[in-house]
Structure 1
Amino acid sequence: MEIYSTEEQQEEAIKGFFKEHGVSIALGIVIGLGGLYGWKSYNQHQITAAEEASDAFNKVVDSTADENADVLAQSEAFIASHEDSSYAVLAAFVAAKEAVDSEKLDVAATKLQWAQTHASTNELKAIATTRLARVQLAQQNFDAAMATLNAPLPASYEAAVAELKGDIYLAKGDKEQARTAYQSAADKGGLESNPLLQVKLDDLAAQTPAA
């Protein structure tokens, strides 16, 4: 590294440096500022898009309180327009509930399968999975419901999954397997979140003849 002994030498060196590299430095500054403003513009676009999606989703939710509103159609329109938004999965949940309330179980299953595939978090995926299994149970599609519940889910859903499997076994008439599944759910803490689980266990115990 060259060391300058006087201020004059340093000044001449600086002038020479900028004379040689000034254009490239200026260009770099312009590009850097352009990138900065471009990034800010991109971020602002993302914020604006998120706000628009939020407002649109709130309108879908508000429509559920209107007896004359076509909630299913509005939910489907929202999903089509905001498919890449995190709100799209929530809209699919709204659509699925509306379909269940309208006894359109096939539509509900389709919406929940879409939500299951597009969920951005394990929590949302678990919600979609368990709701889908309940719809399949209502359809008496027991094998599909059981297969749905065999998907990997967070540990916090173990009790809910075990209880759902008990419901499936019970619907199939397999009381012993149902009792085993319900007991597994209880052992995993299911009684804390769902007191009805104890009722299910008690009912099966009452139906089981004493040895």
Structure 2
Amino acid sequence: MTQKNNENSADTAFADKQSISAIKAHGEKIVYAVIAVLLIFFGWQYYQKNYAKVDTVAADMYTNIATTDEQLLQVAQEGDKTAKAELAGKQEALFADIDKLVLEHDKTAYAWQALMIKARRQVAVNDLPAAVTTLNQAVSVAQLVGDDGLLAMSKIRYGRAMLANNDVEGALSIANESLPEAFEASRQELLGDVYMAKNDSESAKKAYSTAWELMRERQENRAVLALKLQSLGVRAEPIKVLSAAPTAQNQTNQQ
């Protein structure tokens, strides 16, 4: 029995020596691994307590803005004279809410969406200088968000607003920028619009035609672009848009 206990003690001592040797050999790696796990854990906790909360606040602010925007649109279309007379004051309050959201949460897509609402309303009342300023701000927010799609959309709309505000060279500068492939057709169309403003119909034809062919590759139609080509004497060959496969419900209805 004593011999067996001695053997167990020897085995334990040997195992301890192996563990100590392993720790000595790999101790630094183990420490780094533990630190990495702790950093991930506490980093996630910090995000949940701070940024996740910020996103929720920004989302709530944007929801209120979007709701107010919808209400104002409905009043403008269906409201009586008294309700419509109050629109100006309510729109000012809406713009104040948008400015607050952008000021406090400028690194969120919610701020960008709110600026799109503001710009749309400014264009609707032909306040083009204000719309240009708002869309320039949207470009900055999209850069902070780090989303190439939002940035491209912002630049296209910014360029169109500048062109509508008679800033042809500013619009040309935007139209000559490189954008993601998905926005190349829109960029070419904007470029064509700029050339039309510069009375360069040949360059406009080229840009519009390029945009049309890009739309053809995507099998998408754009009626306004076709009209622009036709106004320049160019026949826009129809684009065959593939329809989605009929659903079971549609097939049932057809029968």
**4+ long deviations beyond 6 Å:** 31-34
2: CA distance, partners of 1:154 / 1:35: 36
Q: Compare 90-99 and 118-127 and name the one that shifted more.
A: 90-99
2: CA distance, partners of 1:124 / 1:34: 35
Residues 1:205 and 2:205 are matched in the alignment:
no
Residues 1:115 and 2:138 are matched in the alignment:
yes
Q: Say which SS state the counterpart of residue 205 (structure 1) adopts.
A: coil
2: CA distance, partners of 1:178 / 1:50: 43
What amino acid does structure 2 have at the position aligned with 1:53?
A
Q: Match for 1:93 among 116, 120, 129?
A: 116
2: CA distance, partners of 1:125 / 1:165: 17
CA contact (8 A) 1:79 1:88 kept: yes
Residues 1:77 and 2:100 are matched in the alignment:
yes
In structure 1, what is the equivalent of residue 245 of structure 2?
A: none
Which structure 2 residues correspond to residues 6-21 of structure 1 after superposition, within 5 A? 6-9=7-10, 11=12
In structure 2, what is the equivalent of residue 104 of structure 1?
A: 127
**Deviation at 1:40?**
4.2
The verdict on how the C-alpha distance between 1:170 and 1:37 changes in structure 2, with shifts beyond 3 A counting, is closer
The verdict on how the C-alpha distance between 1:103 and 1:74 changes in structure 2, with shifts beyond 3 A counting, is farther
CA deviations over 1:123-165 (Å, ceiling 9, x no partner) = 1011001000110110111111010111220112111111111
Instruction: Give aligned pairs, total.
Output: 192
What amino acid does structure 1 have at the position aligned with 2:95?
L
Q: Say which SS state the counterpart of residue 113 (structure 1) adopts.
A: helix
Identity across the alignment (%): 25
CA contact (8 A) 1:76 1:95 kept: no
1: CA distance, partners of 2:228 / 2:37: 66
**Deviation at 1:81?**
1.5
Residues 1:195 and 2:195 are matched in the alignment:
no
Residues 1:164 and 2:187 are matched in the alignment:
no
In structure 1, what is the equivalent of residue 169 of structure 2?
A: 143
2: CA distance, partners of 1:129 / 1:72: 21
CA contact (8 A) 1:113 1:132 kept: yes
**Deviation at 1:91?**
1.9
The verdict on how the C-alpha distance between 1:35 and 1:156 changes in structure 2, with shifts beyond 3 A counting, is closer
In structure 1, what is the equivalent of residue 84 of structure 2?
A: none
CA contact (8 A) 1:92 1:115 kept: yes
The alignment's TM-score, normalised by the length of structure 2, stands at 0.65
The alignment's TM-score, normalised by the length of structure 1, stands at 0.77
2: CA distance, partners of 1:181 / 1:164: 8
**Deviation at 1:39?**
3.2
Q: Match for 2:59 among 48, 54, 60?
A: 54
CA contact (8 A) 2:176 2:191 kept: no
What do you get for the CA RMSD once the two structures are aligned?
A: 3.0
| Gap runs ≥5 in structure 1 | 19-27, 207-211
Q: Compare 50-59 and 110-119 and name the one that shifted more.
A: 110-119
